[in-house]
A and B are shown apart, each in its own frame.
Chain A
Amino acid sequence: MSEVQRKKYSDKDKNNIFDHEFMPHIDSMYNFAYRLTFDEDDAKDLVQDTYLKAYRFINSFEKGTNAKAWLFRILKNSFINEYRKKSKQPAKVDYQEVETYYNSDNVDYSMTSDLRVDAVKDMLGDEISNALNSLAVDFRTVIILCDLEGFTYEEMAKILDIPIGTVRSRLHRARNLLKDKLRSYAENMGYDTEEE
């Protein structure tokens, strides 16, 4: 990202960058942290750690560039390196296996094709949030970054340290998984998901 050249900011510059470029993203940062950890205290710690790291490494941030993506990248790395290890969540999902499965050519699209636009539009916030939260963290993350936070594929590639092609295919797989969840909600709501 903006780590090409180290800057030498004065204290005044640092405070200025911190207040005007970093702090305005605290809302998005907290929500991202909460959606990763599902715990208010863990989310607070994660956001706090991220901001402290951002301040400590502020000389590698170029003023006026994409602060939000820079901060999200730090937060995501802190989560992987620190929180994921100690979290109470079950052992890491075998992500490779899931990716391979959804990458195969014989994915059964008929499984999700019967989910209707009308049923989706009638869903409640809690239902869509729960469906999203039930996805494995790597799939959840791409949907959060793309659909909730509006990052471009290029920004996502930098935040996640993966190629753009992988961003595109992972998003596609994440969306298929999300549709499976939404389909079961739709069925529970009593929507007729069968073809007429």
Chain B
Amino acid sequence: MDKNLNTSSERKQNCSDENKCFELLESILDGEGTVDSNEMLNEKLAKCQPCFEHYHLEKAIKEILQNKCTKHMVPSELAATIRQKIQELK
């Protein structure tokens, strides 16, 4: 197992409802959690190894998507072209 998960032995190794749990964990990561979400999240992460791993992996992927995905520069003339076309519409 992962070296830095020193408490992993205390968690259950199988999740009884992965599909549902993982969707829920992802919605919490997406900021769509409800009032009870934090409590639920802490409990799941403390008690369930698959949930713990899924949450941290998804969190890392979300972060690299946000920070590393190639960004394309808007072509410099695009805004001017749009404004010009709109003038023609008037």
A152 to B85, CA, bound (A): 32
Residue of A nearest to B2 (CB): A116
Q: Are A47 and B78 in contact (CB under 8 A)?
A: yes
- Report A158 CB to chain B, min CB distance, Å: 15
Q: Are B26 and A182 in contact (CB under 8 A)?
A: no
Count, chain B residues at interface, CB 8 A: 39
Q: In the complex, which of the residues A11, A48, A125 contacts B70, with contact meaning CB atoms closer than 8 Å?
A: A125
* Cβ < 8 Å to A, chain B residues 32-77: 32, 50, 53-54, 56-58, 60-66, 68-72, 74-75
Q: Are B64 and A128 in contact (CB under 8 A)?
A: yes
Stretch among A1-9, A60-68, A105-113 lining the B interface: A105-113
Q: Which residues of A contact B50 (CB under 8 A)?
A: 109, 113
Q: Are A143 and B68 in contact (CB under 8 A)?
A: no
A147 to B75, CA, bound (A): 24
The answer to whether residues A168 and B79 also contact, given A109-B18, A128-B69 and a CB cut-off of 8 A, is no
Q: Does B10 have its Cβ within 8 Å of any Cβ on chain A?
A: no
Q: Does A87 have its Cβ within 8 Å of any Cβ on chain B?
A: no
Q: Are B71 and A171 in contact (CB under 8 A)?
A: no
Q: Are B78 and A175 in contact (CB under 8 A)?
A: no
Q: Does A98 have its Cβ within 8 Å of any Cβ on chain B?
A: no
A125 to B27, CA, bound (A): 24
Q: Are A115 and B23 in contact (CB under 8 A)?
A: no
Closest 7 CB pairs of A and B: A125-B68, A129-B70, A147-B65, A120-B60, A30-B74, A117-B60, A51-B82
Identify 19 residue pairs between A and B in the complex whose beta-carbon atoms are under 8 Å apart, listed by A's number. Answer: A26-B82, A40-B72, A40-B75, A51-B82, A120-B61, A120-B64, A121-B64, A129-B68, A143-B65, A146-B30, A153-B30, A153-B32, A168-B27, A171-B26, A175-B26, A175-B61, A179-B61, A182-B61, A195-B1
